[in-house]
Amino acid sequence: MSRRPDGLLNHNILDSDKGPQDACGVFGVWAPGEEVAKLAFYGLYALQHRGQEAAGIATSDGERILIYKDMGLVSQVFTESDLASLPGDLAIGHCRYSTTGSSTWVNAQPTLRPTKYGTLALAHNGNLTNTGDLAELVQKLEPSNGRERGATTDTEIMTALISLQNEKNVEASAIAVLPQLEGAFSLVFMDEHTLYAARDRHGVRPLVLGKLETGWVVASESAGLDIVGASFVREIEPGELVAIDESGVRSQRWATAEPKGCLFEYVYLARPDTLIAGQGIHATRVAMGVRLATESPVEADLVISVPESGTPAAIGFAKGSGIPFGIGLVKNSYVGRTFIQPSQTIRQLGIRLKLNPLREIIEGKRIVVVDDSIVRGNTQRAIVRMLREAGAREIHVRISSPPVKWPCFYGIDFATRAELIASGLEVEEIRRSIGADSLGYLSIEGLIESTQIPEKRLCSACFTGEYPIRIPADLSEGKTRLEITEVHGH
């Protein structure tokens, strides 16, 4: 069911200036007697930063699965009556940002599919790298009979593969399919009676388990547990499948763990109030800023951040440098996704719709501006221009990560390499391009040490070009983003 089956898209006022986007956020809850649809709603609300294009919730009352999904933010998609129409004891939810595959209603998640042992609903965060091979396998198992597949996502293909297995139940079918999947995936799925969670053998994307008084919760981040009052238990391990039902929680390994957690989760993607691998993200980002101040010192009067993602590192930079931290840019929290297309005049205002400088704080001062990353350079260029117009005497940009030079194939919507400003320019050339008086990045060594995670357990491909999971030819650098979309979907 959907209010907008025509696939009306959200429009972002500042699409050209948006930062890196994660593929999705996933949430699951098994809690008999609770309003599981509302718990899923609030869980997705806490994970909204991971996907803003579509949202969906599926629930089961033990006899049937109902699903509601639509385009838009979580708060736009669901009303009180929508949630009341989703009864049951277990639920899964999803908020989506399409890294590949079109942004249309039919690609919203969770996906739903009948099986010989009931119904399967599934939601996915990440990106598979062997979708083409898997699609061929689905066609062999289930000839199309002239039907066109509506959705274009790797999530749909995973759902189909599990549902087509000749096994005794969903759990056995998942164990048969999971080893065939390559790439990054954190999954929540369900049949009428059981909630499941699984993570790829590398654990690229986060997934955690929490305990309610009356049940259990799984979520992309620990912040999704906090909002529903669940206590953090542990991470779902790489290569693990967890099942939750009236018998409790059971776990089995379907692959040997080869951890390669995404380094960019620490830089930008995860909420600052989240824990990953036992590390608090806020404290990690502060440590990045302290290290950045040591690696790229500068004489200045004030440290400011690009809110909100640059704030913890800016606090760290101020701590490490002894330069006072202040608020120099004010963020409009209500600018973002809307169903109203901005006029050309409004578009030309660019970053001013999101940020505005505090002239009385900035004027006449030497300013250090701390941000988490530079992707295309458009945002930093506009910020430097605004600060100069507000009277800054000097502007020194400091970035709490290394230059982003390589695209991500594991679930982050980085631009193609040609669009990444650091892939073709040296640091001094980037400095001139954005108009700063100086520019400094955190080293890869400094970033990794700040996480306190061993380098061998991290994926740093977007910074180093060293991809821990094989990238097939149809996802190679020679392909444009459009061509990739035509071959693969998420």
Q: What are the pLDDT tens digits along the chain (490 aa)?
A: 433 333 333 333 334 444 554 468 999 999 999 999 999 999 999 999 998 888 999 999 999 999 999 988 899 999 999 999 999 999 999 997 654 444 455 667 899 999 988 999 999 999 999 988 999 899 888 866 544 554 557 899 999 999 999 999 999 999 999 999 999 999 999 999 999 999 999 999 999 999 999 999 999 999 999 999 999 999 999 999 999 999 999 999 999 999 999 999 999 999 999 999 888 999 999 999 999 999 999 999 999 999 989 999 999 999 999 999 999 999 887 665 544 555 666 666 777 778 999 999 999 999 999 999 999 898 999 999 999 999 999 999 999 999 999 999 998 877 578 889 999 899 999 999 999 999 999 999 999 999 999 999 999 999 999 999 988 876 654 433 323 332 223 3
Same domain (yes/no): 194, 309 = no
Q: Please state the pTM of the whole predicted model.
A: 0.88
d(CA 433, CA 421): 9
Quick check: helix, strand or coil at residue 327?
A: coil
Domain end marker among 232, 260, 288: 260
Same domain (yes/no): 184, 67 = yes
Other C-beta atoms closer than 10 Å to the C-beta of 395 total 26
Same domain (yes/no): 42, 159 = yes
Quick check: helix, strand or coil at residue 440?
A: strand
Residue with tokens 């097939």: 472
Same domain (yes/no): 229, 289 = no
The amino acid sitting at 22 is D
Is residue 268 a part of any domain in this protein?
no
Domain end marker among 216, 233, 260: 260
Is residue 80 a part of any domain in this protein?
yes
* Domain of 401, in residue numbers: 275-458
Is residue 157 a part of any domain in this protein?
yes
Same domain (yes/no): 322, 400 = yes
Active-site annotation holds for 24: yes
Residue 315 sits in a domain whose CATH number is 3.40.50.2020
Same domain (yes/no): 201, 350 = no
Number of domains in the chain: 2
Whole-number Cα distances in Å, 127 to 106, 171, 182 = 18, 22, 9
Same domain (yes/no): 387, 240 = no
Residue 68 sits in a domain whose CATH number is 3.60.20.10
Same domain (yes/no): 241, 185 = yes
* DSSP β-ladder status, 438-441 and 394-399: parallel
* DSSP β-ladder status, 54-60 and 90-96: antiparallel
Is residue 344 a part of any domain in this protein?
yes
